[in-house]
Amino acid sequence: MAEKKDIPFALLEILKEFTDKEHTLSSGEILYMLRTIYDLEAERRTIYANILLLRKYGYDIDDWNTTHTGYRLNKHQFAPDEVTQLCKLIRNSKELSNKQKADLCDRLTETLSKCEPPLLNLTVIEGASKLQTKF
């Protein structure tokens, strides 16, 4: 079993991965995810205390008072349109191989919430001179 000191980090990862401006998580859902994904046991007040801790360190997290549905992380590392633009630039790079292009775009896409609709459908053809991308 993971340790209690891991809760703020696990909570942040859950908010990054499963929330966005249109998707929130209730404290019950967060508790369930902590238990099933990270093997962490917590109480509702622990969630609230750790949300306050994350806010103290600069994370913009809305709660029930703002959303009326649950918690959400407001700012992810990249916005969906930024990921799209960066992947378009990467796709057009002449210095990178198709595999490098696909790997970079995959890593950028992983920064988005899983709630975001799929933005990119990258098809890499080995040996081809261009990365084919549908936007």
pLDDT at 84 over 70: yes
Mean pLDDT, the chain, rounded, equals: 83
How far apart CA 18 and CA 16 sit, in angstroms, is 6
Phi, psi of 85 (to 5 degrees): -65, -45
Of residues 54, 90, 94, the one with CA closest to residue 75: 54
Q: What is the pLDDT of residues 23-50, one digit of tens each?
A: 899 999 999 999 999 999 999 999 999 9
Give the single-character DSSP code of 112.
S
Q: At what angle do helices 44-56 and 27-38 cross, to 10 degrees?
A: 90
pLDDT for the residue 135: 35
Does domain 4-73 sit in CATH 1.10.10.10? Answer: yes
Of residues 61, 56, 58, 75, the one with CA closest to residue 11: 61
Q: DSSP for 56-96, please give it.
A: HTT--EE-HHHHSS-BEES--SS-HHHHHHHHHHHHT-SSS
| pLDDT category of residue 80 using cuts at 50, 70 and 90 | confident
pLDDT for the residue 28: 95
Is pLDDT larger for residue 75 or for residue 24?
A: 24
pLDDT for the residue 125: 35
pLDDT for the residue 108: 87
pLDDT for the residue 1: 60
pTM equals 0.69
pLDDT for the residue 83: 85
